[in-house]
Copies of this chain bind each other. A is one copy, B any other.
Amino acid sequence: MIRIIFIFAFLLPTSLASVLDFCVADLKGAESPAGYPCKPPASLTVDDFVFSHFRAGNTSNFLKFSLTPAFVDQFPGVNGLGFSAARLDMEAGGLIPMHSHPGASELLVMVQGHITAGFISSDNTVFVKSLIKGDIMIFPQGLLHFQINAGRGKAKAAAILTFSSPNPGAQILDLALFGSKLDSALVSRTTFLDPAQVKKLKGIFGGSG
């Protein structure tokens, strides 16, 4: 029997050196535009392909949500595979404020409660929908969008998010404008917001300048 196996091994020469069926990220290596370098295939176990921390966070925060990412930095197995995921849990009144993902489109699957979500396209058309358990909504790459727990009373909401990149990025509008060091006068001038409004929000979001 050994001989047969040997013969088949001959069929599989790449197995001797590399298997690029997948490329689990070696997070200690230097990223390139294509992602992280691969961990040696021989060192991998099934746990490199499993993410076990995809559970609701216990945070009860200002915005009343928790987000559990499974992007390449948390889940190295998605490196090079073209997708990643995140879990969103929202308490009553929870809100994900206006933001965009510069590197990926987003697909949201409702698993609990009610969420009102929307995005705005390049031609300023607005697409808003009230979603219930069992709905999917997509948010194309780079466009501003938001999600709000639309449940009544103390109803929680939860969704599974997937992204078309292992590293989608996220630009949150208020943090970009008011939580950064962008000069307040520049913020005001480039957004047409009143200086007082800018100052107020800089105070809330901790920006300087």
Copies in the complex: 6
A137 contacts the other chain (CB 8 A): yes
Cβ–Cβ contact B180 & A46, under 8 A: no
Chain B residues closer than 8 Å to A78, beta-carbon distance? 107, 138
Cβ–Cβ contact A172 & B8, under 8 A: yes
Q: Which of B37, B140, B180 contacts A30 (CB 8 A)?
A: B37
Residue of B nearest to A123 (CB): B15
Chain B residues closer than 8 Å to A194, beta-carbon distance? 197, 200
Cβ–Cβ contact A148 & B38, under 8 A: no
Cβ–Cβ contact B50 & A98, under 8 A: no
Cβ–Cβ contact A82 & B82, under 8 A: yes
A95 contacts the other chain (CB 8 A): yes
Given contacts A35-B33, A143-B21, are A52 and B206 in contact (CB under 8 A)? no
